[in-house]
Every structure is written in C-alpha cells, then in structure tokens.
Structure 1
Amino acid sequence: MRRIAMYAGRTGESINTIYWIEGEYIKEALAEINYFMRDARVDKQIAIDTRTLDITAAAHALLDSTEPYMLLSGYRSPETNAMLRSRSRGVAKNSLHLKGQAADLRLNSRSVNQIFKAAQACRAGGVGKYSGSNFVHMDCGQVRSWGS
C-alpha cells in the first residue's frame, strides 16, 4: 500500500489517498492526485509521474510522520515556470515540474535536513535542499542532490 497525504497552502485543498495497492496503481486515485498537484495559477494539469509519487511516499514513510506534506509546487505550466524563473535564480529553465516529475514539499514537524536525508535514502531521483525557503525538492530524474 502506498499513500499520499498533502495539503496545498495556495488553494486550501488537501488530499489523503491510497494510490497503489497489491502491485497496482489506482486510476481514480491518480486522477485525484493529478488534479490536486495541478498548476493552480493557470488551472492546468497533467499526469504526475508515479515514480515521483513513489519517492515522496517512501520519504514520508521514512520520516515516520502522520503530518501531511505541504505541497509548494507540483506540476508547473511553462507560463508559471517562466514567471518563477524571472523572480528566482533557483528555478530551472527545463524544470522537471514542467513534466509532472517533481514536487517541492515541506513538513512542519521535520527539518529540511531530515526530509532531505529521507528522500536521499530512497536513492531514486533528484533531491534538492532549500533551507532558506524551508522546502525539499524531490523528482524522478537522475539520482543527484544539491542545496544547502
């Protein structure tokens, strides 16, 4: 069983759903997750890569917390990514957020360093530590890590 529990400060929405059970992804749960992780600025959604969901769920389980993640950014439309790039050096031009392959997450009950280490322990994708902004980036790209 794999579960995603998140809330979005921007929209006030939350999700707490089992999306995988007995070796199968649950289509209806994935549809709910795709909507929840949409780019709410422009109300666009795409399929979130299940590998990213698996990494976020595995890291959450390692943290032994019942607190849902706060989702800061899931899917990003090209318009939103360009706007964020104009405001911050830390936004990649070809961000995996554009492909639904990344999530920026926070837990109030755990430090950025704790979340970062849990995500790194999954050895399954990219993990970025953004201590100054209090979040961790997780993606299903190449295994790598960065940040301070």
Structure 2
Amino acid sequence: MTETTDKGLTRRALLGIFAATTVAAAPTYSHAFGLLRSAGDFRRIRMYSGRTGESIDTIYWIDGNYIPEAMNEISHFMRDWRSNAARSYDPRAIDIMAAAHRMLDVNEPYMMLSGYRSPQTNAMLRSQSSGVAQNSLHMQAKAADLRLRSRSVAQMYRAAAACNAGGVGRYSRSNFVHMDCGPIRTWGA
C-alpha cells in the first residue's frame, strides 16, 4: 500500500488490504494456516520524514519478489533532501529495517533522519561532526538513521542487532539507531 493523497486505491493497496484482512481473519478459521499460506508472504515498510513532511507506507515484497514500483518509491522517499538526489536503495537495507520494525511490534512508522546522502552532503556533514564516516554506506543507499517515539534507542538497537544482517549503531545522545546492510558489526552507547 502506498500512501497517496487524493488518489484512488492502487493495485498494491488492494493487495495489502486483502493480505491484512486475511491475516486479521485467520484466527477465526480452523484452517488458518492454509489461508495464510495462500495469502502469501509480504514485507512492509512505514516511515515519515520530518525534513520533507513526506511519509511512505508500502508493501515492497510479496511471495519472494520485490515490487519494482514500491522499491522506486522507497528510493525516492529516502533521497538526499538537501540536494534532491536519489539512488536505488539496496533492498537488503530495507529488509533489515522492516524486520527490526516487525520485531518491535509497533504500528508507529519510523522517523527517517537520514537515508541516501550524496557525496557532497556527506562531506558537509563530515566537516561538522566526527561521527560521519568518510565512506559512509549512506552514500551507497545501504543505510538509514531511524527513530521511534514509542521505543527506546536500546530497544531499536537490540531488534536491529538481532537481525544479524548488517551494521547497527546506537546513538543514544542523538536518539536514533543506524541500520545498514554492510558487514555485520555493532557500535555505540
């Protein structure tokens, strides 16, 4: 489901509604497992950006296949808001974010603080902070800095680290968690 403004339902939205309805109704049926299997497996990401005022709520993967249109929307949403530059996001990074979100069992969308960064933006941020890596995975569209109001940095950090699928940084003073699909590693306090 892609969040739209003043538009009708898209095909993806209808698929999402069908999947959500099936999942909600499944416990009332004695053959719920068969219903869930026939409804398929899906992955969803929900985020908003305080910088742009935009939000995204989309199913980006169904039954083992990434949905190209949804991945394009995610890449646009996660663009460098300073330069409006975008790069195709690595689906593995989105998978880590979605898996951690699901483990946290929240309905609240992530607040995305930083997604893709152009080399120019990364250099500018690096000149202002020693915490910005020169070869940041943000420049490769493989990382995001995220926050949830309803969960602590420690809770988010533990969920992302439990994915055992990439880098997870805890930035408690700044109240966010970095997630990326690079080598498995953790840092921060």
TM superposition score category, shorter chain reference: over 0.9
SS of 2:173's partner is helix
Greater per-residue helix proportion: 2
Amino acid at match of 2:46: A
The alpha-carbon deviation at position 59 of structure 1 amounts to 0.2
SS of 1:132's partner is coil
Of 106, 111, 119, the residue aligned with 2:152 is 111
After superposition, what is the alpha-carbon deviation per residue over 1:42-88, rounded to whole angstroms, capped at 9, x for unaligned? 00000010000000000000000000000000100001001100111
Distance of 1:62 and 1:81 partners within structure 2? 30
The alpha-carbon deviation at position 109 of structure 1 amounts to 0.2
Greater per-residue strand proportion: 1
SS of 1:48's partner is coil
The alpha-carbon deviation at position 137 of structure 1 amounts to 0.2
Distance of 1:135 and 1:22 partners within structure 2? 31
For residue 90 of structure 1, what is the aligned residue in structure 2?
131
Is 1:7–2:7 an aligned residue pair? no
Is 1:40–2:84 an aligned residue pair? no
The structure whose Rg is larger is 2
SS of 2:87's partner is coil
Normalised by the length of structure 2, the TM-score is: 0.78
Of 108, 117, 120, the residue aligned with 1:79 is 120
For residue 127 of structure 1, what is the aligned residue in structure 2?
168
SS of 1:129's partner is strand
| Runs of at least 5 residues in structure 2 that lack an aligned partner in the other structure | 1-41
After superposition, the CA RMSD in angstroms is 0.3
Is 1:147–2:188 an aligned residue pair? yes
Aligned length: 148
Distance of 2:98 and 2:174 partners within structure 1? 22
Normalised by the length of structure 1, the TM-score is: 0.99
For residue 64 of structure 1, what is the aligned residue in structure 2?
105
Instruction: Please show how residues 49-60 of structure 1 align to structure 2 within 5 Å.
Output: 49-60=90-101
Percentage identity across aligned positions? 67
Select the structure with the greater relative contact order (CA < 8 A; seq sep ≥ 6): 1
SS of 2:156's partner is helix
